[in-house]
Amino acid sequence: MAAVKVSNFVFECEATDGAARCGVLATPRGDIRTPAFMPVGTAATVKALTMDMVRDAGADIILGNTYHLMLRPGAERIHRLGGLHHFCGWDGPILTDSGGFQVFSLAALARKTEEGVTFQSHIDGSRHLLTPERSIEIQADLLGADISMQFDECTPFPATHEEAQSSMELSLRWAERSRAAFGEREDQALFGIVQGSVFEDLRAHSAKALTGMGFDGYAVGGLAVGEGFDAMVQTLGHTVPHLPADKPRYLMGVGRPVDIVEAVARGIDMFDCVIPTRSGRHGQAWSDAGPVNLKKACFAEDQRPLDETLDCPASRDYACAYLHHLVRANEYLGAILLSWHNVAYFENLMARIRTAIREGRLDALRQQISGA
CA-to-CA distance for 87 and 353, rounded, in angstroms?
32
CA-to-CA distance for 199 and 235, rounded, in angstroms?
7
Residues 6+ apart with CB under 8 A from 98: 66, 135, 139, 148, 149, 150, 151, 152, 178, 193
Quick check: 308 binds a second copy (CB under 8 A)?
no
Quick check: 184 binds a second copy (CB under 8 A)?
no
Q: Are 141 and 133 in contact (CB under 8 A)?
A: no
Residue 15, Cβ neighbours under 10 Å: how many?
Answer: 15
* Catalytic, out of 56, 60, 97, 269: 97
230 classed as catalytic: no
* Residue 161: CB minimum distance to a second copy, A: 40
Quick check: 126 binds a second copy (CB under 8 A)?
no
Q: Are 256 and 275 in contact (CB under 8 A)?
A: yes
Q: Are 281 and 370 in contact (CB under 8 A)?
A: no
CA-to-CA distance for 340 and 344, rounded, in angstroms?
6
User: Among 48-56, 156-164, 285-293, 344-352, which window interacts with a second copy (CB under 8 A)?
Assistant: 48-56
272 classed as catalytic: yes
CA-to-CA distance for 359 and 353, rounded, in angstroms?
10
Please give the C-alpha separations between residue 42 and each of 19, 76, 274, 327, in angstroms, as whole numbers: 31, 17, 9, 23
Q: Choose which of 318, 327, 342, 343 interacts with a second copy (CB under 8 A).
A: 318
CA-to-CA distance for 73 and 57, rounded, in angstroms?
27
User: Among 82-90, 94-102, 108-116, 207-215, which window interacts with a second copy (CB under 8 A)?
Assistant: 82-90
> Which residues, 86 to 125, sit near a second copy by CB under 8 A?
87-89
List the x/- string, 193-232, binding to a second copy by CB under 8 A.
Answer: ----------------------------------------
Pick 68 or 179: Cβ nearer a second copy: 68
Quick check: 335 binds a second copy (CB under 8 A)?
yes
CA-to-CA distance for 370 and 284, rounded, in angstroms?
16
Quick check: 328 binds a second copy (CB under 8 A)?
yes
* Residue 138: CB minimum distance to a second copy, A: 16
Q: Are 261 and 232 in contact (CB under 8 A)?
A: no
Residues 6+ apart with CB under 8 A from 87: 44, 78, 81
Q: Choose which of 186, 331, 359, 363 interacts with a second copy (CB under 8 A).
A: 331
Pick 73 or 237: Cβ nearer a second copy: 73
Q: Choose which of 20, 25, 36, 44 interacts with a second copy (CB under 8 A).
A: 44
- Looking at the DSSP bridge assignments, the partners of residue 34 are 23
List the x/- string, 250-289, binding to a second copy by CB under 8 A.
Answer: -------------------------------x--------
* Catalytic, out of 60, 146, 272, 307: 272
* Residue 174: CB minimum distance to a second copy, A: 28
CA-to-CA distance for 347 and 49, rounded, in angstroms?
15
* Residue 136: CB minimum distance to a second copy, A: 23
Pick 52 or 187: Cβ nearer a second copy: 52
Please give the C-alpha separations between residue 146 and each of 3, 32, 130, 323, in angstroms, as whole numbers: 23, 12, 20, 36
> Which residues, 287 to 306, sit near a second copy by CB under 8 A?
300-301, 303
Q: Choose which of 28, 77, 245, 370 interacts with a second copy (CB under 8 A).
A: 77
Quick check: 317 binds a second copy (CB under 8 A)?
yes
Report which secondary-structure segment, H or E, holds 26. Answer: strand 20-27
Pick 21 or 85: Cβ nearer a second copy: 85
User: Among 22-30, 46-54, 239-247, 362-370, which window interacts with a second copy (CB under 8 A)?
Assistant: 46-54
CA-to-CA distance for 336 and 50, rounded, in angstroms?
9
Interface with a second copy (CB under 8 A):
43-45, 47-50, 52, 72-73, 77, 80-82, 87-89, 281, 300-301, 303, 313, 317-319, 321-322, 324-326, 328-329, 331-333, 335-337
Residues recognised as catalytic: 97, 272
